[in-house]
Amino acid sequence: VASQNKLAEKRAAAEAALGLAPRPPAAHKPASYTVADGSAGVLRVQIASDLHLEFYEAGEDVPAMLEPAAPVLALLGDIGNPADASYARFLAAMAERFELVLVLVGNHEYYGHGRYSADEMHAKAEAACAANPRLRLLHNESITVNGVRVLGGALWSDVPPLERPVVEASMNDYALIGKRTGEVVADPAVAPAPATAGAGGALRPVSCADTCAWHE
């Protein structure tokens, strides 16, 4: 319990540093699952990542590429754009095929493209998983499946200070992942477009300082 509390404290501090609003734990989701996979302590997991649903043609049968080979599917990030309907549709289709689908966000899930902040994109991913008891988004937390502890979370690089200008100038993360400034621009002459204005203020790209704070 103490270790879980410490993890929760570190998560809250890191998210506060990045500008992410505190989120309550997934109280509506169980902490322990049992799947039909033999005796306790036995767990078979099928893994997939970097599917990038946003690049597929509309109507293409993406789920056909994932025929079940295990009762649990772990989607390990960069699955799609949570702001696009294809993301939720794909997760729902996977929940029909697998007993349990573990969902992690990758850096590309946070790409708001100047419209949404990282926190807003994360909330969309959470909403896509909340509708189905077989979908479980793991974000810096652990669950138990058949007696096996499974930990999940998004990881960020600890970029040395001297390297940060080069990294920020060369990686899409620092152009396409947004953070709310917390300040609402009042002057209409300099106000952001409606798509970038939100309750938390205007958007700015995240910096290495933001993602390094989240890494810690």
Which of 19-28, 91-100, 196-205 holds the top average pLDDT?
91-100
Q: What CA–CA distance (Å, rounded) separates 112 from 137?
A: 19
Q: Is 4 a residue whose pLDDT tops 80?
A: no
Sign, Cα dihedral of 124, 126, 130, 133:
positive
* pTM of the predicted protein model: 0.79
> What is the separation, in whole angstroms, between the first and last Cα of the chain?
21
59 Cβ neighbours under 8 A, 6+ residues apart = none
Paired tokens of 75: 């989607």
- The one-letter amino acid at 45: V
Hey, what amino acid is at 103? V
Task: Give the pLDDT confidence of 117-151 residue by residue, as tens digits.
Answer: 999 999 999 999 998 999 999 998 999 999 999 99
- Look over the chain and give the mean of its residue pLDDT values, rounded to a whole number: 82
Per-residue pLDDT tens over the stretch 89-124: 999 999 999 999 999 999 999 999 999 999 999 999
C-alpha–C-alpha distance, residues 25 and 9, integer Å:
12
Q: Which residues on neighbouring strands pair with residue 103, listed in sequence order?
A: 75, 137
How many beta carbons lie within 10 A of that of residue 122, not counting itself? 22
Between the CA of residue 183 and those of 13, 98, 178, 204, what are the distances in Å? Answer: 21, 44, 14, 11
Q: Which of 58-72, 111-125, 162-176, 202-216 has the lowest mean pLDDT?
A: 58-72
